[in-house]
Amino acid sequence: MVGIEKIIPSMTDLDLFWPLLATHGTGQNLTVYNTLLSGPRKEDESDGPEEMYVVLLDNGRTNVLQKKEQRQGLYCIRCGACLNVCPIYQNIGGHTYETTYQVL
pTM score? 0.50
Tens digits of residue pLDDT in 11-49: 888 888 777 777 766 667 777 777 777 789 999 999 888
For residue 62, what is the DSSP state?
Answer: H
So where are the chain's domains? 2-79
Alpha carbons 58 and 3: distance in angstroms, whole number: 6
From the list 4, 2, 30, the residue with the least C-alpha distance to 17 is 30
Instruction: Give yes or no for a contact between 30 and 19, defined as CB atoms under 8 angstroms apart.
Output: yes
Helix/strand number for the chain, H first, E second = 2, 2
Tens digits of residue pLDDT in 56-88: 888 888 898 889 888 887 777 666 666 655 555
- CA 15 to centroid of chain Cα atoms: 13
Confidence tier at 104 by pLDDT (50, 70, 90): very low
